[in-house]
Amino acid sequence: MKKKVLITRKLLRSNEDRANELWDAKLNLNDEVYSQQKLIELSQGCDGILSSLTEKIDEKVIKSLPSTIKVISNFAVGFGNIDIEAAKKKNIVVTNTPDVLTDATAEIAMLLILGACRRAAEGISYVKKENWKWSADFLIGKQLNGSRLGILGMGRIGQALAKLAKVFGMEIHYRNRSKLSKEKEMGAKYHENLQSLFSVSDVLAICCPATNETKNIINKETLEYFPTGAIITNVARGDMIDDDALVQALVNRKIYAIGLDVYKGEPKIHNGYLNQPNAFILPHLGSATKKTRTDMADLAINNLNEVLNTGKCTNRVN
C-alpha cells in the first residue's frame, strides 16, 4: 500500500506527477493557502507533509498533527515557518531544500543591487507616465564598478553573489559566523563585527539565515553605521529589517535606496516603502525559475521519500 502524503501548495505538473507515482498524494490543485486548522484536518491519515513557507507550522499545529506524521519536508531552504523543537519532541523529521536555489537567488540579489543603484523603479514609473525628458542629470544613479559591496552572510548564496558582483568590478567585504578559507573568500575582506562591515558598505546585501540574533539586525542604531548614501538589499527574510527605522532612513536620505525581494508580512508590505521612489521591490522571486522550482520540489520529494523509507535524510534540520 502506498504511503499517504499531504502536499500543501500546488507544484509544477512534472513534480505532482512524480508525487502521485510515489504516494497516495493529496494535492492542492486550487493552490489554496490552508489555514492551520485545515492543514491539521487534511493531514489525518497521512504519513508525511510536503509544506511551503506559507504555512505556519508552530507548536500548536505540531501537537495537533496525527501520530502518523513522520516527516515535514519544507519546500524551501529556510524553515522558520516550522517549530523545529516541537517537531523533534514529537519525533517528526523536518527537512529543507538547500543548494538548488543558490544561483537563482544570487541572480535576484544582483538584480536588486542594479535596480536600487540605477533607480530602476523610478525609471519604470517615468516610462509608464510617458512624461520623461532626457537631460544630462536625468535619473543619475550610482555606478557599481569601484564600489564596495558588503555581504552579510557568506554562505552559498553570499558566495555566488560575490562572484557575480566581482564581474561588475565591486570590492567585496563580508561578515559571517566564521572566517572563510582563502579559496572561498576569493579576495573578499572579512569583518569581525557589524559596525566594521556596515561602515564600509556602499551597498549591503543581506544573505544570512533568519535567527533570533539576526532579527531586526537593520535598525535605528545599526543604520547609523552606514556611510550616508548607502544602499541596502535583502534576499534573506523580512524579519532582518526594522521597517520603521529603514523607511525613516530613506526619508532622511541616510540611505540612498533599497532593494527588497522579501519583507515582513508578505504579501502585505509596510506602507512607508510604497511612498518612496527609491524603493525597488519584488514579490519574493528569489527561486522563481522553472529549473530551480522543479529542482526544489524534486529535492523536497526526495527528502520526504528518504525519511519514509529509511527514517533518515541528508537534509534533516532537526
* CATH code of residue 270: 3.40.50.720
What pLDDT does 216 receive?
A: 97
Q: Is the pLDDT of residue 233 over 90?
A: yes
Q: Give mean pLDDT, residues 289-318.
A: 97
Examine the domain organization and report whether 35 and 75 are in the same domain. Answer: yes
Report yes or no: 158 and 175 within 8 Å, Cβ to Cβ. no
Q: What is the pLDDT of residue 166?
A: 98
Could you tell me if residue 238 is inside a domain? yes
Query: Quick one: pLDDT band at residue 208, thresholds 50, 70, 90?
Result: very high
Domain tally for the chain? Answer: 2
Please report whether residue 318 resides in a domain: no
Clarify whether residues 107 and 91 are in a common domain: no
Whether residue 214 sits in one domain with residue 84: no
Pairing state of beta strands 48-51 and 148-152? Answer: unpaired
122, 227: one domain:
yes
Q: What is the DSSP letter of 84?
A: H
122 and 191 within one domain? yes
Residue 16, pLDDT score: 98
Active site residues: 237, 266, 284
Q: Is the pLDDT of residue 1 over 90?
A: no
Long-range contacts, 2-7 (Cβ 8 Å, 24+): 3/47, 3/48, 3/308, 4/45, 4/46, 4/47, 5/46, 5/47, 5/48, 5/49, 5/50, 5/304, 6/39, 6/42, 6/43, 6/46, 6/48, 6/49, 6/50, 7/49, 7/50
Q: Are residues 180 and 69 in the same domain?
A: no
In a domain, 70, yes or no: yes
Whether residues 181 and 240 share a domain: the answer is yes
Q: How many C-beta atoms surround the C-beta of residue 293 within 10 A?
A: 18
The range of the structural domain enclosing residue 122 comes to: 102-281
Q: What is the pLDDT of residues 156-190, one digit of tens each?
A: 999 999 999 999 999 999 999 999 999 999 999 99
Percentage, residues of the chain above pLDDT 70: 100
Residues 18 and 161 both lie in one domain: no
Q: Per-residue pLDDT averaged across 128-136, rounded?
A: 94
pLDDT category of residue 211 using cuts at 50, 70 and 90 = confident
pLDDT at 272 over 90: yes
Residue 315 resides in a domain: no
**At residue 210, does pLDDT exceed 90?**
no
Express as a percent the part of the chain with pLDDT over 90. 97
Segment 187-196 shows an average pLDDT of 97
- Residue 146 pLDDT class (50, 70, 90 cuts): very high
Choose among 93, 97, 82: nearest CA to 47.
Answer: 93
Cell of 224: 547609523
Residues 80 and 123 in one domain: no
In a domain? residue 231: yes
Look at residue 315 in the predicted model and tell me its pLDDT: 97
316 belongs to a structural domain = no
* Pair 188, 264 in one domain: yes
User: According to the model, what pLDDT value does residue 67 have?
Assistant: 97
> How confident is the model at residue 80, as a pLDDT?
86
Residues 73, 133: one domain?
no
If asked whether residues 303 and 158 sit together in one domain, one would say no
- pLDDT (tens digit per residue) in 79-125: 989 999 999 999 999 999 999 999 999 999 999 999 999 999 999 99
Q: pLDDT of 39-73, one tens digit each?
A: 999 999 999 999 999 999 999 999 999 999 999 99
- Classify residue 78: in a domain, yes or no: yes
pLDDT tens profile 279-289: 999 999 999 99
